[in-house]
């Protein structure tokens, strides 16, 4: 109960913070933290062992996505 509460609070706070942050490059760390909290919540949801595969796939995919956004935005800004 406490562990789920911690994951939910971190994910909700970081989602709100990521949307209302004014600068785009400062939004991306909050998006990353929200993805970590959601990956933790996925592991806690179902009691089967394949859940950990879903969590690993979500972790890899979300990290790749936010890093791709960050690198493209940084390359556009320095031009």
Partner 1 sequence: MTDLILILAIFLALFGGIAALLVRSAFDKLICLGILTAGVVLFLVEKGYLDVAIVVSLLMPVGTIFILLLLGKKQEAAK
Which spans of this chain sit near partner 1 (rule: CB under 8 A)?
1, 4-5, 7-8, 11-12, 15-16, 18-19, 24, 27-28, 31, 34-35, 38, 41-42, 44-46, 48, 50-51, 53-54, 57-58, 60-62, 64-66, 68-69, 72-73, 75-77, 79
Report the alpha-carbon angle 24-30-31, nearest 5. Answer: 80
Query: Considering the complex, what minimum distance in angstroms separates the CB of residue 50 from partner 1?
Result: 5
Query: Considering the complex, what minimum distance in angstroms separates the CB of residue 51 from partner 1?
Result: 6
Query: Considering the complex, what minimum distance in angstroms separates the CB of residue 29 from partner 1?
Result: 11
**Residue 39 burial by Cβ neighbours in a 10 Å radius (0-12, 13-18, 19+):** buried
């Amino acid at each position: 109960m406490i562990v789920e509460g911690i994951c939910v609070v971190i994910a909700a706070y970081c989602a709100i913070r990521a949307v209302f942050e004014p600068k785009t490059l400062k939004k991306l760390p909050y998006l990353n933290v929200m993805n970590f909290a959601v990956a933790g919540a996925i592991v806690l949801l179902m009691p089967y062992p394949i859940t950990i595969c879903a969590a690993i796939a979500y972790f890899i995919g979300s990290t790749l996505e936010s890093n791709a956004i960050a690198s493209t935005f940084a390359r556009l800004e320095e031009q």
